[in-house]
């Protein structure tokens, strides 16, 4: 974010433990402690609507929802998200930015950043990637940079995958050139942020 917005703007990241599903009944209550993004989205928008309805800060505040597409249809998924937004009209500028297929696609959009962070990354694997393709993105990245690749990491306890993915992002992102990233979904995210600021 600092590479996109500079240091004259502020941001806050609220992370969730998973994406989940948009509830069929938007007015149903969900367990806030589970921190599943899509299940919480209706109540989050309702809360933002109540908080910012008559608050002048709404003119300088925006909500950016970032999530993975996984194997969903982009058009259908975006429409589902917009339906939730329209139902609660949180009075804030709101954007949905979807990583196609997964957040690792944004990392794979800058192969030179990967090579700087992981000089021994396998060129043959990296060069086989087609930007924003549905191909098992995190597995492809792990095949390029993790000893033994995705087969080795899958044999470890489930939480290792998440911690490795986090470590990859922390190491690769500082090397990224946000203006040269080839991931269309990353460029959409970057450009939406720039429009807002």
Mean pLDDT of 3-29: 85
d(CA 197, CA 192): 9
Maximal CA-CA distance, the chain: 55
Least confident of 25-39, 88-102, 139-153, 162-176: 25-39
Alpha carbon of residue 108 to chain centroid: 13
Q: What is the mean pLDDT of the chain?
A: 92
pLDDT tens for 46-103 read 999 888 888 888 888 999 999 999 999 999 999 999 999 998 887 889 999 999 999 9
Distance CA 191, CA 197 (A): 10
> 99, 19 in Cβ contact below 8 A?
no
DSSP 58: G
Q: How does pLDDT run across 114-143, given as a tens digit for each residue?
A: 999 999 999 999 999 999 999 999 999 999
């Amino acid at each position: 974010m600092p590479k996109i917005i500079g240091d004259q703007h502020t941001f806050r990241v609220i992370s969730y433990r998973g994406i989940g599903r948009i509830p069929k009944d938007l007015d149903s209550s969900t367990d806030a402690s589970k921190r599943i993004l899509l299940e919480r989205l209706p109540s989050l928008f309702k809360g933002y609507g109540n908080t910012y309805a008559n608050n002048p800060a709404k003119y300088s505040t925006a909500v950016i929802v970032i999530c993975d597409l996984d194997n969903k249809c982009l058009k259908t998924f975006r429409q589902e998200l917009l339906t939730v937004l329209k139902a609660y009209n949180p009075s804030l500028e709101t954007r949905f930015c979807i990583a196609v297929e997964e957040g690792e696609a944004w990392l794979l959009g800058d192969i030179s950043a990967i090579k700087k962070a992981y000089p021994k990354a396998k060129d043959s694997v990296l060069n086989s990637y087609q930007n924003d393709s549905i191909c098992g993105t995190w597995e492809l990245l792990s095949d390029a940079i993790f000893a033994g690749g995705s087969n080795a990491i899958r044999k470890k306890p489930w939480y290792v995958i998440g911690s490795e993915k986090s470590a990859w992002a922390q190491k690769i992102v500082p090397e990224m050139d946000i203006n040269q990233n080839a991931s269309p979904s990353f460029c959409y995210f970057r450009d939406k942020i720039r429009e807002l600021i």
